[in-house]
Amino acid sequence: MTNDADGNDVPAGDDGFDPVEATIGEIHGAFAAGTLTATALVETTLDRIDRYDADLAAYIHVNEHARDRARDLDDRYAESGLTGPLHGIPVAVKDNHDTADMPTSVGSAALAEVVPPRDATVISRLRDAGAIVIGKTNLQELSFGTDTISSARGATRNPYDTDRRPSGSSGGTAVAVAATLATVGTGTDTCSSVRSPPAFTNLVGVRPTMGLVSRTGIAPLSLTQDTAGPIARTVTDAARTLEAMVGYDPEDPLTARGVGNVPERGYAAALDPDALDGARIGVVRKWFEPTDPGNVPKGAAEGIAETLDAALEAMADAGATLVDPVDVVDDDELDAARVVGFEFMRDVDRYLDELGETTPVDSLEALVETGTMADSIERRIRDGGILSVDVDGLDTDPDYLRALALRERLRTETIDRLVRDDLDAVVYPPATVPPVRIPDLQPFEEMRCQLSAHTGLPAVVVQAGFTDDGLPVGIELLGRPFDERRLLALAFAYEAKTDHRRPPDAFS
């Protein structure tokens, strides 16, 4: 048995297996030892959701079929062993991934009962790998922002301080994984969404190279920038989850770019505790400073800076050469390459149209006009002019075409900088501010998400440590296209040296 925050006994699984902080490898080891079954693990995970999620609001839907799935996997394990690399693993899935056996709300109360006709490609691959979708997690409504507020579930709370936000938009998944309401999870990232939530909840997040993971069946925000990625408590678990997600999908032609770029032995096999020894890492020093000091609470900037400096020192102590500073691209041009405002309505309308009669609305405008949307998201849509975009004229819109061309140039410039300076990666913070207190909103201008989002290059966030008041801080590594293997190895080496992961006290 283990205990919850109130000291109550919680079933830990067969023969006392404790799932809190358990990795995929440890769970599979317990299966092999006969001390755990998928059924027991699911029961314990569901029990933790029952006990803790009222305080956290991580989930919108819990999978009523999870127990049946676990029992089936146990039967198959008894006959032939593991069915795949994620056999029996409870996975939290952001509720913008289509699932044919439960609703996909995209955080909208108006879409809360919509059950898509099929699984997203990523969901099919996770299930093929043996995963158990334990539930669908809360998100910033329609993924439009960085707070994790939705009309479907309200505001998700940070398990390290429930008065604070976990960032977003994939905050529900991050909170579920951080508090062991799942073993691993998936999110989507248009700009920050699988990176700032892990940074704020002491986790690992991976934004893969565009074209590595299919977008089919994932409710879009901006298809040019959208990708799915794993969120986990360790680099190894993130690597193993990514392995199950990648691959060519003929329904998403962009994934043709990934063909030949997925290592045969996967990502976890290359994890090396000595990977930082001899590595060259560029420090994008200008992004360590707040864009607007007024966004940072008194004393917080110093605490974050000290944590980040210690992270850089640890990399150097592990044998990395830090090239400090490195100037990668022009910040104004990076801002100008954002295409979300152009594509949001177009891409949401297409997604709703594909759902057909399963959805009560057929457009973003109609969804806004239902009056059900969370106030802060509706205001951003209306005030941002999203509903006035001429989506039929985008193919000839000079501003949109200029932004698309700029993205390609910035991608080339960034790759050239990595090659020219012989860099394995560049490093910077995912955010320059701590998680804000509710009801404040997370200031987007302090997110450092745009280099990866606007170039399509891969990035990994790993734990950097904690501020003096116990708030998690993350650090981000960005590398060359389809070089996830190297990035994950560097993150693993840093993780091995620093060991910053620890569960939130109130939920351990």
Active-site annotation, residues: 94, 169, 193
At 136, is the secondary structure helix, strand, or coil? strand
At 157, is the secondary structure helix, strand, or coil? coil
At 425, is the secondary structure helix, strand, or coil? strand
Strand-pair partners of 463? 474
**Cβ pair 138, 58 in contact under 8 A:** yes
* Residue 363 to residues 32, 346, 351, 359, Cα–Cα distance (Å): 50, 9, 9, 10
Residue 356 is encoded by which pair of tokens? Answer: 């057909």
* Longest Cα–Cα distance in the chain: 65
At 186, is the secondary structure helix, strand, or coil? strand
Q: How many CA atoms lie within 13 A of 502 on its CB side?
A: 14
SS (H, E, C) 430-485: CECCCCCECCCCCCHHHECCHHHHHHCCCEEEEEEEECCCCCEEEEEEECCCCCHH
**Nearest C-alpha neighbor of 191 from the set 498, 453, 11:** 453
What is the DSSP code string of 303-330? HHHHHHHHHHHHHHHTTPEEE-----S-
Spatial distance between the Cα atoms of 34 and 391, rounded to a whole number of angstroms: 57
* Residue 67 to residues 77, 116, 138, 489, Cα–Cα distance (Å): 15, 22, 21, 35
Residue 87 is encoded by which pair of tokens? Answer: 């056999």
- Return the amino acid letter for 19: P
Strands (E) in 81-167, as ranges, are 90-94, 132-137, 149-150, 154-155
Tallying the residues shown for the chain, one arrives at: 508
Residue 77 is encoded by which pair of tokens? Answer: 């394990």
Q: Is the peptide bond before 11 cis (omega within 30 degrees of 0)?
A: no
What is the DSSP code string of 343-361? HHHHHHHHHHHHHGGGSS-
Spatial distance between the Cα atoms of 155 and 148, rounded to a whole number of angstroms: 6
